[in-house]
Amino acid sequence: MTHFYYIFLIICMLLAGQNGKAQTTDSTKLMTLHDCMVYALSNSTRIRIQHAATGDARIARRDAILTAFTPTIEAQAYAYYNFGRSIDPQTNTYFTQTSFHNNYNVSAGFTLFNGFEAVNNLKISRTGLAISQSREKQAEADICLAIMEAYYNTVYYSQLTNIYAEQIANAESQLRLGQRQEELGQKSHAVVVQLEADLSDRQYDLINVQNQYRDQLMTLSDLMFWPVDEPLRIDTVLPTWQLEVADDSHVIDYAIAHNPDIKIAEGTRDNAKRELTTARWQLLPTVGLYAGWSTSYYTYEGAQTDAFRNQIKNNGGEYVEMSVSIPIYNRLQKHSNISRKRNALTKASAELEQKRRDVESEIRRAIQDCNGTATAYCQAQRKAEVQREAYQLNARKMEQGLISPIEFQTVNNNYLKAKADEMNSLFKLLIKQSVVKYYGGVEYVEQ
C-alpha cells in the first residue's frame, strides 16, 4: 500500500510540473492583434457591466411575460388575541372575555383589461433586450477598435526602435572610421566631433522612441486588462495587407440596417411609440377578475366552541369578484403623462433621424479617408524607396569624404522621416480598412 502511495505522489508532481510549463508557455506567447482583441473582450469590465445589463433586460422580459399571461396568487394567515369587548360569531352578542382569532385566506387575481399595458410592456421588454444586446455589440466594437489603435501604435514604435538601433550602429561605425581617418590625417577633429554629435542625436532619439514604445505597450495592457505582474509580448512584425475597394452603397445600406447605434435609436423610438399608446389607453376603465377562499377559527374563555378542524371546515367561504375602475379626475396626471410620452416620441424620432445621418456621413468619410490613406501610403512607400537609395549613396560618399557630416545628417533625417511616414500611413490604412469592413458587416475580431 505504501508503494502505491508514493507512486501516486510522483504522478501528481509530474502533472503539476506539466501544468506549470503550460502556464509559462501561455504567458510568454507572442500575442497577435486577434489574440489581444479576444483577451480584452474576455476580461473587460465594460463588457461585464454590459453583460449584467443584458441579464437585467432578460429578467424584465420574463417579468413582462408573466405579468401578461399569469394571475397573481396570494396566501395570508394571521392570528391575534382580543382583550377587550368583542362579538361572539355564534350568538352575535357582545362579550368581554379574552378571545383568540385565527384566519386564513387564499386569493387570485387577473387583470382583464388595463389599456393593453401588459401587452405593450411585453413588446417594450422585447425591444429593450434587443437594445441591450446592441449596446453589448457596440461596446465590443469600441474595445476592439481601441485595441487595434494601441496595438498598431506599439508595433509602429517597435519598428522605429529597430530603425534607430540600426542607425546608431551605422553612426558608431562611421565614428570609428572617422577616428581612424583622423589618426591618419585624412579628416579633421571637427569632423570627428560632428560624427560624435550625430551619434548622440541618434541615441537620444532611440531613448525617446523606446519610451514611446513602453508607453503604448502599457496603454495596450490597460485596455486588455493584462495582469500587471506579467510581461505582455506582442507580435511586432509588420502585417500583410492588400488594398480593397468598398462599395459605398452596399456598406451604407448594410450599416443603416444593422449598425448597433441605429438599432438602439430604432428600439428607443419604437418603445416611445408603445409608451405613448399605453398612456392614451390609460384613459379607459380597468377591468379585473378576482377569486378567493377564506376561513377562520375563534375561541374565548368559558365558551364551548367547535374544534379547530370543524371551524375551519364550517367557516370556509369562496368568492368571485369582477371590478371595474373608471378614471374620472386625477388632477390631469394622465393627460400630462400623454404629453410627456408624445414629447419623448418626438425626441426619439429626431435622434433616430440624426443617428442615421451621422452613421451615413461617418461611413462616407471613412471610405473617403480609406481611399485617401491608400494613395498617401503608395506615395509614402515610393518616397521611402527614393530616400533609402539616397541614403545609401550618401553613406558611401560619407565614407569617401565627399560630403560633410552635416549634409549626411540631413539625408539621414530625411530617410528616417520617410520610413516613419511609410509605417504611419500603413497603420492608418489598416485601421481605416478595418472600420469600413466593420460597417460592411465584418466584426473587428473576425477580420
d(CA 33, CA 148): 7
Which has the closest alpha carbon to 144: 362, 442, 358?
442
Q: Which pLDDT score is estimated for 349? A: 97
Beta strands in 146-214 (DSSP E): none
What is the C-alpha R_g of the chain?
39
Write phi, then psi, for 247 (nearest 5 degrees).
-85, 120
d(CA 137, CA 46): 11
Instruction: Kindly give the pairing relationship between strand 86-87 and strand 286-300.
Output: unpaired
d(CA 178, CA 190): 10
3-state DSSP helix/strand/coil percent for the chain, to nearest 5?
Answer: 70, 15, 20
3, 165, 348 from 324: Cα distances, Å: 83, 86, 35
d(CA 284, CA 82): 44
115: part of which helix (H) or strand (E)?
none
Q: Which pLDDT score is estimated for 44? A: 93
**Domain range summary for the chain, segments of one domain joined by +:** 38-70+114-284+327-446
200, 374, 411 from 428: Cα distances, Å: 31, 9, 26
d(CA 234, CA 31): 4
Spatial contact of 137 and 53, defined as CB atoms under 8 Å apart:
no
Collapsed DSSP state (helix, strand, coil) of residue 99:
strand
Cell 419604437 belongs to 270
d(CA 150, CA 218): 9
pTM of the model: 0.79
The DSSP symbol for 34 reads H
49, 194, 199 from 404: Cα distances, Å: 62, 9, 15
Give the sheet arrangement for strand 286-300, strand by strand. Answer: 72-82, 99-113, 286-300, 317-325
Instruction: Return the C-alpha cell found at 143.
Output: 474595445
| Nearby residues of 202 by Cβ (< 8 Å), 6 or more positions away | 164, 167, 168, 171
CATH code linked to domain 38-70+114-284+327-446? 1.20.1600.10
Q: At what angle do helices 405-439 and 248-258 cross, to 10 degrees?
A: 60
Q: Which pLDDT score is estimated for 39? A: 95
The two most distant CA atoms of the chain are separated, in Å, by: 137
Q: How far is residue 18 CA from its own chain's centroid?
A: 35
> Which sign, positive or negative, has the C-alpha torsion 267, 272, 273, 279?
positive
Instruction: Return the C-alpha cell found at 374.
Output: 491608400
The DSSP symbol for 29 reads P
Q: Which pLDDT score is estimated for 402? A: 81
| CB burial of residue 48 (10 Å; 0-12, 13-18, 19+) | exposed
129, 177, 267 from 140: Cα distances, Å: 17, 55, 19
Q: Which pLDDT score is estimated for 195? A: 84
Q: In a structure prediction context, what are the per-residue pLDDT tens digits for the chain, which is 447 residues long? A: 444 433 443 444 444 444 433 333 355 689 999 999 999 999 999 999 999 999 999 999 999 999 999 999 999 999 999 888 888 777 788 888 888 999 999 999 999 999 899 999 999 999 999 999 999 999 999 999 999 999 999 999 999 999 889 888 888 887 888 888 778 877 788 888 888 888 898 899 999 999 999 999 999 999 999 998 899 999 988 777 776 666 677 888 899 999 999 999 999 999 999 999 999 999 999 999 999 999 999 888 877 888 899 999 999 999 999 999 998 888 889 999 999 999 999 999 999 999 999 999 999 998 998 888 988 999 999 999 999 899 888 888 877 778 877 788 888 888 988 999 999 999 999 999 999 999 998 999 998
Instruction: Return the C-alpha cell found at 289.
Output: 377578475
